[in-house]
Structure 1
Amino acid sequence: MTLAGEIDHDTGETLRQALDLSVTGQPRIVADLRQVTFMDSSGINILLTAHHAATEAGGRLRLAAPTPAVLRTLQIVGIDQIIDCHPTLQDALDH
């Protein structure tokens, strides 16, 4: 899944719906963050919820190619230690 723009309180519901895993068995999702320019706590919470749902369903969520600003946010709150975060989309797809 390719994400773009800002992920915040105003846009979070769209992402939450896209990551709804209630109808999927063993989801394997790679979120391509190359075009995300900003992410606040709303986005972080949505990714955490999706990660937990995917893990509970026997699947996974991986993050790929975050921009420097988004990567810094992920690192500050420790998400990069919880959700697999890869420097490139290809790396995320390969692992």
Structure 2
Amino acid sequence: MSEGEMTGTEHAGQTGQLSVVTTATDGIRVLTLSGEIDHHTGDTLRQALDASGTPRPRVVADLHQVTFMDSSGINVFLAAHRALNEAGGWLRLAAPAPAVLRTLQIVGLDEIIDCHPTLPDALNG
């Protein structure tokens, strides 16, 4: 994906140790997450993933800058996955760092939510 494919930033927010930058590429909402996903930052992630009112929402969470994720993040991603699927859309995870990927694999989340090694792979599905 080249920078020319990205639209302007729709939202940038930071709470505690998690920052979220939201952009759009070809109608897909891309959340670039940075920092830690835990019980302190779960609400920030939940709000960023909320696509209520959007028909057939497609969301990619770029995890390459996430350094830690606990069960709070797993639960938020599971809830978002269900909500997006029920709305006729989908959620994909992209480029998790090794420690985060290991967490995803241990709990089997990578078997439930499409998990891709790079952002372009996730965008092209």
TM-score under structure 1 length normalisation: 0.98
Distance 2:80 2:46 in 1: 8
1:14-33 matched pairs, under 5 angstroms: 14-33=44-63
Distance 1:10 1:23 in 2: 26
Residue 74 of structure 2 aligns with an amino acid whose one-letter code is: I
Residue 38 of structure 1 aligns with an amino acid whose one-letter code is: F
1:33-52 matched pairs, under 5 angstroms: 33-52=63-82
Cα RMSD for the two superposed structures: 0.6
Specify the alignment match of 2:41 in structure 1.
Answer: 11
Unaligned runs of 5+ in 2: 1-30
Which one scores higher on RCO, CA 8 angstroms, separation ≥ 6? 1
Residue 79 of structure 1 aligns with an amino acid whose one-letter code is: L
Identity of aligned residues (%): 76
- Larger proportion of helix: 1
Shift of 1:81: 0.1
Residue 29 of structure 1 aligns with an amino acid whose one-letter code is: V
TM-score under structure 2 length normalisation: 0.75
Equivalent residues, number: 95
- Larger proportion of strand: 2
**Structure whose CA Rg is larger:** 2
Residue 65 of structure 1 aligns with an amino acid whose one-letter code is: A
Shift of 1:22: 1.6
